[in-house]
Structure 1
Amino acid sequence: MQVIGLCRFSYPAVGGFQVEHDSIEERIAYLYAEERMEERFHLMETVALPCLREQTDPDFTLVTLVGDSLPDRYRNRLEALVADMPQVEIVAAAPGRHRDVMKQVLNDARRNPDAPCLQFRHDDDDAVSVDFVERLRQTVRDCSGLIANHQTVAIDFCQGYVARLEDNGIHAALGHHPYFVAALGMYVAPGCRQTIMNFAHHRLARFMPTITLPDAPMFVRTLNGHNDSRQKGAKEPDLLRLDAAGLAEFDARFAIRR
């Protein structure tokens, strides 16, 4: 079964941001500002990609969506960063309505629309456990009876960390976070054109059955200077600096190394 991930890398969508801009030109200027891009590349390199490089099941596709206006220096840098990852497909698109573009990109990535697939979103500042893809496929096998009767089924690994990566170490808090973007997948039946981007992640349970797996930490969601979801005053959880055991877990489970 094909597994498709979608990573938006500073794509200038129309809508889809909690930070508002008056024009697409203003949004592009915000997204491509040098300080912001340096942070995004650093997080992509140290958080988002290492865990995918070390997946126990490497059979997946990661569609990385960029704007067709992405400056060449950033496009070349991104291509160099993922040159050792055959799973990554960089797709460039003109600005468009957020969900419409994302749905089209996911459907275009399906090798065989008449076969089922698994989909997930992967933000460029989050990590998933190195066994995430393997466990997605295993969950489909474990729950085959339920899945056979539905066009879409969400698979939510809901235990994970919120973390901030500081010069003096990693500060994190383990918690139960249902329907976060990170480590949230969706089964899509043969011939179904719906995608994980048809739905707001926190509302998936309103539209389909969901399988919840809270047994192990399966994601790290980082807090940083440009978290879109934190721009409207969301309260930051209390974070504690990881000790040696915590750092070893981040290394083993998420390939995050400091």
Structure 2
Amino acid sequence: MQVIGLCRFSYPAIGGFQVEHDSIEERIAFLYQPDRLEERFQLLETVALPCLRAQTDPDFELIIVIGDSLPKQHRDRLHDITAGMPQIRIVSEPPRRQREVMKELLQKARRDPSKPCLQFRHDDDDAISVDFVERLRASVDDCAGLVKRHKTVAFDWTRGYVAEMGADGIAATEILRTLYVASLGMYIRGGCPLTIMNFAHEKIHRFMPVVSDSGPPMWVRTHNGYNDSRQKKVKPVPVEPLTREQEGEFRARFAIDADQIRRRFGR
């Protein structure tokens, strides 16, 4: 079964952000600030990409969506750091309505729309467990009766970490959270035109059955200087530095290397 992921990398969508701007030019200027883009690349290189390279089931695709105005040096850098990852396809788009363009890209990515597929979203500053694709695919078999009766079914792994990355390494805390973007997948029946981008992730349970699993930690959400959802006043999440043992667990579970974090963020 085809598995398709979607990642937005500083794409200047019309809508789709909690931080508002008066014009698309202001949004582009905000997204392409040198310090912001440097942080996004740091997180992409050390958090979001390693877990994809290490997937126990490598049979998936990931579309990375960028703006057609992304400066050439950043476009080249993105191609360089994703080289050697055949699952990744970088797509350049002009500013358009967020859901419109994302739905269109996902629909076009289906090799055979008459057959079912699995879809997921992947934020450029988060990680999924190295066995996410394997578990997502297996969940369809585990819930064969459910997917037979419904055109769409969501699969939600609710245990993960909030983490902060810095020159001192990783500080984190384990939490339970339902319907977060990371480790939320969606089954779509053959012939059904819906995509995971038809729905706000936190509201997806209103439209289809959701199978929740609170087993092993399946995601890492980073808190950083440019989280879109944290640009307004929000309650801070206390985190603590990982022990060496916990660093080993992060490396095994998410392919996040604390020593690489220290080197990359210590510059």
TM class, shorter-chain normalised? over 0.9
1:238 Cα deviation from its structure 2 partner: 1.3
CA distance in 2, matches of 1:95, 1:165: 30
1:244 & 1:150 partners in 2: Cα distance? 45
Q: Where in structure 1 do 4 or more consecutive aligned residues deviate above 3 Å?
A: none
Task: Give 1:95's aligned residue.
Answer: 95
Whether 1:136 aligns to 2:124 is no
Q: Distance in 1 between matches of 2:255 and 2:182?
A: 15
Measured after TM superposition, the shift of residue 191 of structure 1 is 0.9
CA-based RMSD: 0.7
Residue 222 of structure 2 corresponds to 222
Matches within 5 A, 1:125-164: 125-164=125-164
Identity of aligned residues (%): 60
Pairwise mapping of residues 51-130 of structure 1 onto structure 2 (< 5 A)? 51-130=51-130
Cα separation, 1, equivalents of 2:204 and 2:95: 26
Alignment deviations for residues 208-242 of structure 1 (CA, whole Å, 9 cap, x no partner): 00000111100000000000011121212111111
| Aligned counterparts of 1:211 and 1:233: Cα–Cα separation in 2 | 32
Separation of aligned partners in 1, 2:187 and 2:231: 31
Residue in structure 2 matched with residue 194 of structure 1 by the alignment: 194
Read off the aligned partner of 1:195 and give its amino acid letter. Answer: T
Q: 1:49 matched to which residue of 2?
A: 49
How many pairs does the alignment contain? 258
In structure 2, give the amino acid aligned to 1:120.
Answer: F
Deviations 1:151-198 (A, max 9, x none): 111000110000001211211110111001011100011011111111
Distance 1:178 1:80 in 2: 35
Larger mean Cα displacement after TM superposition, 236-245 or 184-193: 236-245
CA distance in 2, matches of 1:28, 1:168: 31
Deviates more, 1:161-170 or 1:46-55: 161-170
SS in 2 for 1:47: helix
Letter in structure 1 aligned against 2:53: R
3-state DSSP of counterpart to 1:155? strand
Deviation string 1:10-68 (CA, Å, 9 cap, x unpaired) is 00000000111000011011111111111111100000000000000000000000011
Give the residue type in structure 2 aligned to 1:41: F
TM-score using structure 2 length? 0.96
In structure 2, list runs of 5 or more residues that go unmatched: 259-267
